[in-house]
Amino acid sequence: MTEIATTAQDILTRLGVQPARYTDGTLESFSPVTGERIAALPEQKAAEVTQAIDRAAAAFREWRLVPAPRRGELVRLLGEELRAAKDDLGRLVSIEAGKSPSEGAGEVQEMIDICDFAVGLSRQLYGLTIATERPGHRMMETWHPLGVVGVISAFNFPVAVWSWNAALALVCGNPVVWKPSEKTPLTALACQAILERAAARFGDVPDGLSQVIIGGRETGEAMVDDPRVALVSATGSTRMGRQVGPKVAGRFGRAILELGGNNAGIVCPSADLDMALRAIAFGAMGTAGQRCTTMRRLFVHESVYDQLVPGLIKAYGSVSVGNPLTTQALVGPLVDGQAFQAMQDAIAAATAAGGKVHGGTRVTEAGPEAAFYVKPALIEMPEQTGPVLEETFAPILYVMRYGDFDEVIAQHNAVGAGLSSSIFTTDLRESEMFLSAAGSDCGIANVNIGTSGAEIGGAFGGEKETGGGRESGSDAWKAYMRRATNTINYSRQLPLAQGVVFDI
């Protein structure tokens, strides 16, 4: 066995995952760090998915009756177990998703943060008391657990996205069935094992409260199609969302869709250019351009273009690209050869459209033939056209000049996706305009920071082809519960609303 596979197995063993879950199966897991196969997992086909949902449905009937603050205790324990497992899980994320150590650890920190948030929330699932028009009546709303929550997650945040959903779902009284990306199944098994540790400490957790189902499309479809899955929370490409969304809607299920992003930054004449450069570098090159919040388009005012862009090109040239397990490189590998090909295709299309390419070439010395390390690409584009309008899940930043503020806002919004956005300015009018109803049309709009790296306290998600879902903080929890409006008559009369008379 290779060194990486051994390390992965050591971590899984420490966390308590049985080898039978990741050996002798049909779903092969590869590490983007070296391209080598690290495990082969048995898959759960449709019939087993149905059984998993049977168990989850039974767990729901029990868990919904457990008081919410007590449910919060399970999530508190999960947070504790995650703190204890942070190094191991972070490293496994680096092995399976290719993230730098700091980003692997950061992802686990995000899980810990959402657990803390959800524990507080477990005592704050508030409903309103509402003034009623009828005398001797009281009106209020109650939030009840919703049902089985199905989670579909992507390779690029293989553990955090599950935790955003699981932590909220559990305090809201719902069981979770998780179908992780085929590219990152081991980290999912690790999370499940960590949750089971918390559950063992908690005591009476119903069987089937949290489950992982491993497999490909058929596995995911069986979950999406099952009417007992009350909420499907799906993170991935817009293509995937176009399939999942209508299926769930067709059975009147609920969906949280967190799909593609084509996130842009705007650098205005008054911007702090040093700060903007650093924010853009992290936003566009961090996680090798494989965040849904990665900055992919940059509009620079013509008066500062020649001050900012040469420095940015220099940063692109000097950024360290390399093995995230053995070096301190800031940029790790692409997830696989397909991602590399998609990047090369986009670069070719941009060149054909008049783009001037800096970087974007393969870094063969960073890893073996089967691993795909690239220099991030900065492409100066004459206009927003062709590949600039699409999300390519790779480190490509398209840079364009602008002159007029209203025009650049229109350009900014003229793409399908609507996830994240930033403006770099010290001009109050520009910044407020950008955040206003007539400004950025994205779910996330930032000032003087990049597009990526959101904290868990805010609601996370975006508009248009990003799918409209919101996860994580703020009141995103409401999507995981059903709202009942209750009107109680404590009088001896029966006044009807709107003054309707119906005397019999």
Contact range with ligand UN1 by CB under 6 A, out of 81-89, 268-276, 289-297, 395-403: 289-297
Judged by CB under 6 A, which of 163, 323, 422, 452 binds ligand UN1?
Answer: 452
CB closer to ligand UN1, 71 vs 183: 183
Contact range with ligand UN1 by CB under 6 A, out of 287-295, 298-306, 356-364, 365-373: 287-295
CB closer to ligand UN1, 474 vs 489: 474
Calpha distance 50→463 (Å, rounded):
32
CB closer to ligand UN1, 147 vs 289: 289
Dihedral Cα 491, 492, 497, 502, nearest 10 deg: 180
Minimum distance from CB of 62 to ligand UN1 (Å)? Answer: 32
CB-hemisphere CA count at 13 Å for 341?
3
Q: Does 453 bind ligand UN1 (CB under 6 A)?
A: yes
Contact range with ligand UN1 by CB under 6 A, out of 270-278, 291-299, 343-351, 380-388: 291-299
Which DSSP category does 374 fall into? B
Which DSSP category does 387 fall into? G
Minimum distance from CB of 430 to ligand UN1 (Å)? Answer: 23
Q: Does 262 bind ligand UN1 (CB under 6 A)?
A: no
Q: Does 292 bind ligand UN1 (CB under 6 A)?
A: yes
Binding characters for ligand UN1, 138-157, by CB under 6 A (x = yes): ----------------x-xx
In the numeric block, the tokens 């919004």 are attached to 413
CB closer to ligand UN1, 192 vs 287: 287
Q: Which of the residues are catalytic?
A: 258
CB closer to ligand UN1, 9 vs 233: 233
CB closer to ligand UN1, 156 vs 421: 156
Give the residue among 215, 125, 230, 217 at the shortest CA–CA distance from 176. Answer: 230
Instruction: Report how far apart the first and last C-alpha atoms of the chain are (Å, whole number).
Output: 83
Minimum distance from CB of 450 to ligand UN1 (Å)? Answer: 9
89: its two tokens: 């899980």
Asked if residue 353 lies in contact with residue 387, where contact means CB atoms within 8 angstroms, the answer is: yes
Minimum distance from CB of 114 to ligand UN1 (Å)? Answer: 10
Asked if residue 347 lies in contact with residue 360, where contact means CB atoms within 8 angstroms, the answer is: yes
Minimum distance from CB of 444 to ligand UN1 (Å)? Answer: 8
Calpha distance 412→358 (Å, rounded):
22
Binders of ligand UN1 among residues 190 to 249 (CB under 6 A) are 235
Binders of ligand UN1 among residues 72 to 111 (CB under 6 A) are 110
Residue 210: strand, helix, or coil = strand
Q: Does 393 bind ligand UN1 (CB under 6 A)?
A: no
Minimum distance from CB of 371 to ligand UN1 (Å)? Answer: 21
Cα distances (Å, whole numbers) of residue 481 to 56, 127, 158: 16, 11, 24
255: its two tokens: 């969906």
Judged by CB under 6 A, which of 454, 459, 476, 479 binds ligand UN1?
Answer: 454
* Bridge partner residues of 138 (DSSP): 488
Asked if residue 378 lies in contact with residue 399, where contact means CB atoms within 8 angstroms, the answer is: yes
CB closer to ligand UN1, 113 vs 430: 113
Minimum distance from CB of 157 to ligand UN1 (Å)? Answer: 4
Judged by CB under 6 A, which of 165, 263, 293, 431 binds ligand UN1?
Answer: 293
DSSP calls for 230-287: EEEEEES-HHHHHHHHHHHHHTT-EEEEE----EEEEE-TT--HHHHHHHHHHHHHGG
CB closer to ligand UN1, 211 vs 293: 293
DSSP calls for 297-347: EEEEETTTHHHHHHHHHHHHHH--B--TTTS--SB--BSSHHHHHHHHHHH
Binders of ligand UN1 among residues 108 to 127 (CB under 6 A) are 110
Which DSSP category does 187 fall into? H
Q: How many residues bind ligand UN1 (CB under 6 A)?
A: 12
Minimum distance from CB of 279 to ligand UN1 (Å)? Answer: 13
Residue 139: strand, helix, or coil = strand
Asked if residue 108 lies in contact with residue 81, where contact means CB atoms within 8 angstroms, the answer is: no
Binding characters for ligand UN1, 296-325, by CB under 6 A (x = yes): ------------------------------
Cα distances (Å, whole numbers) of residue 23 to 18, 36, 334: 9, 15, 25
Q: Does 291 bind ligand UN1 (CB under 6 A)?
A: yes
Binding characters for ligand UN1, 6-45, by CB under 6 A (x = yes): ----------------------------------------
CB closer to ligand UN1, 161 vs 288: 161
Binding footprint of ligand UN1 on the chain (CB under 6 A):
110, 154, 156-157, 161, 235, 291-293, 452-454
